[in-house]
């Protein structure tokens, strides 16, 4: 197995860090470079190569000292930039579907897109098809008893899981609650917490819409809600949607990015950013059966993700070591 140095200079814990954790568990010979006091280090231990957060210029110098690596795997846009500037052959894991700067991706040794939607963005940027693969996220099966904290709220109970950032579309779900009975719980942290709290108060929904922070385990939360709501305006794939499907939740989600590839016909899809459509979809989801997405969610296992990623890494290594020029 090719030993790979994985790079992630983020300090937060989100879907990409969870996928890297799964990869490192499945590939024990690999190492990682990143922030020693970041969320990933707290989960898996200190990095072999300590780096500063984000795109710090000293990270370029540090990575230049890492000699004789066939390639590195960059798991965030900042990580990709510093790896390329350091002169490393770089496999970029691309997880989001908005259009980025083309330079990094055209210079990459290979790009691993999390969905066909993301892959189409990469092709539009001019990434060669021979240097592009799709590897969906993997999740462990989600199963747990309902957490009593959420069962006490007036129903129906709607739930979201995602960082409190603009593209996750939480404001759309909050606005939709003006048309619906029951409660909405939003699990996650991020820079928009204060703004979302103020918006909830302005709408007079403080008794029915709750920001509950980051949860160490979502199983009990997902078991307690009636409908999982994923209102993203942009989304590479939607790891949280797979977890909700695995837990047997009814799901309503925006048809953004790779979400339709994940959800298929097992949930309700609505137009991104459309408050009325989301409110209608939430009502419709309440009437649908539970558990219809469990079998489909099983297709997105952690084992499938790690095995598919390893196959791409081996393909990249064969190309690098090939004595024949690539045409």
Number of H helices, E strands in the chain: 15, 13
Q: Comparing C-alpha atoms, which of 286, 210, 197 is closest to residue 250? A: 286
* β-strands 72-74, 250-254 pairing: unpaired
Cβ-contact 30, 5 below 8 angstroms: yes
**What pLDDT digit, counting tens, does each position of 9-45 carry?**
999 988 899 999 999 999 999 999 999 999 999 999 9
Q: Give bridge partners of residue 195 from the DSSP assignment.
A: none
| pLDDT band per the 50, 70, 90 thresholds, residue 327 | very low
- Cβ contacts of 42 within 8 Å, gap of 6 or more: none
> For residues 61 and 91, what is the distance between their CA atoms, to the nearest angstrom?
19
**What pLDDT digit, counting tens, does each position of 57-75 carry?**
999 999 999 998 999 999 9
> For residues 70 and 52, what is the distance between their CA atoms, to the nearest angstrom?
23
**Does 326 score more than 60 pLDDT?**
no
**What pLDDT digit, counting tens, does each position of 194-209 carry?**
999 999 999 999 999 9
pLDDT at 98: 82
What secondary structure does DSSP assign to 49-104, as a single string?
Answer: EE--STT-HHHHHHHHT--S-S-EEE-SHHHHHHHHHTT--EEEEE---S---HHH
User: SS3 letters for 192-216?
Assistant: CHHHHHHHHHHCCCCCCEEEEECCC
Cβ-contact 213, 207 below 8 angstroms: no
| pLDDT band per the 50, 70, 90 thresholds, residue 105 | very high
As its CATH architecture, domain 5-138+301-321 has: 3-Layer(aba) Sandwich (3.40)
- pLDDT averaged over every residue in the chain: 94
Report the SS3 class of residue 187. strand
| pLDDT band per the 50, 70, 90 thresholds, residue 281 | very high
Report the SS3 class of residue 183. strand
Please give the model's pTM, rounded to 2 decimal places: 0.91
Report the residue count for the chain. 327
**Does 94 score more than 70 pLDDT?**
yes
Domain over 148-297 is classified CATH 3.30.559.10 = no
> For residues 96 and 251, what is the distance between their CA atoms, to the nearest angstrom?
21
What secondary structure does DSSP assign to 118-130, as a single string?
Answer: HHHHHHHTT--GG
**Does 325 score more than 60 pLDDT?**
no
Q: What are the start and end residues of each CATH 3.40.50.2000 domain in the chain?
A: 5-138+301-321, 148-297
The predicted model gives 313-327 an average pLDDT of: 82
**What pLDDT digit, counting tens, does each position of 213-266 carry?**
999 889 999 999 999 999 999 999 999 999 999 999 999 999 999 999 999 999
Question: For the chain, where are the E strands, in sequence order?
Answer: 5-8, 31-34, 49-50, 72-74, 90-94, 110-113, 132-134, 157-161, 183-187, 209-213, 227-230, 250-254, 268-270
| pLDDT band per the 50, 70, 90 thresholds, residue 102 | confident
pLDDT at 109: 97
| pLDDT band per the 50, 70, 90 thresholds, residue 324 | low
Cβ-contact 270, 281 below 8 angstroms: yes
**What pLDDT digit, counting tens, does each position of 132-180 carry?**
999 999 998 888 888 888 888 888 999 999 999 999 999 999 999 999 9
The predicted model gives 76-95 an average pLDDT of: 96
Could you tell me the CA-to-CA distances from 99 to 10, 85, 86, 95, 103 in Å, in that order? 20, 21, 24, 11, 12
pLDDT at 303: 96
């Amino acid at each position: 197995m090719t030993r790979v140095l994985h790079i992630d200079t983020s300090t937060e814990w989100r879907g990409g860090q969870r996928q890297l954790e799964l990869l490192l568990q499945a590939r024990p010979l690999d190492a990682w470079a990143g922030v020693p006091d970041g969320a990933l280090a707290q989960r898996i231990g200190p990095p072999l190569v300590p780096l500063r957060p984000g795109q710090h210029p000293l990270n370029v110098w540090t990575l230049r000292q890492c000699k004789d690596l066939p390639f590195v795997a960059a798991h965030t846009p900042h990580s990709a930039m510093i790896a390329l500037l350091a002169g490393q052959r770089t496999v970029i894991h691309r997880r989001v579907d908005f259009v980025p700067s083309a330079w990094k991706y055209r210079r990459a040794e290979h790009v691993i897109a999390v969905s066909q939607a993301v892959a189409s963005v990469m092709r539009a940027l001019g990434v060669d098809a021979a240097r592009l693969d799709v590897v969906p996220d993997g999740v462990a099966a989600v199963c747990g008893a309902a957490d009593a904290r959420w069962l006490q709220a007036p129903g129906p109970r709607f739930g979201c899981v995602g960082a409190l950032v603009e593209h996750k579309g939480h404001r759309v779900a909050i606005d939709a609650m003006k048309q619906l009975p029951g409660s909405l719980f939003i699990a996650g942290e991020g820079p928009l917490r204060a703004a979302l709290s103020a918006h909830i108060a302005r709408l007079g929904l403080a008794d029915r819409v709750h920001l509950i922070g980051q949860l160490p385990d979502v199983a009990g939360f997902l078991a307690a809600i009636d409908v999982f709501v994923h209102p993203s305006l942009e989304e590479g794939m939607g790891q949280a949607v797979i977890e909700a499907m695995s837990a047997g939740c009814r799901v309503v989600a925006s048809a953004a990015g790779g979400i339709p590839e994940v959800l298929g016909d097992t949930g309700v899809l609505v137009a991104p950013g459309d408050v009325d459509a989301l409110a209608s979809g939430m009502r419709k989801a309440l009437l649908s059966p539970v558990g219809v997405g469990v079998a489909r969610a099983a297709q997105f296992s952690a084992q499938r993700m790690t095995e598919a990623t390893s196959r791409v890494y081996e393909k990249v290594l064969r190309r690098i070591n090939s004595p024949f020029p690539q045409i």
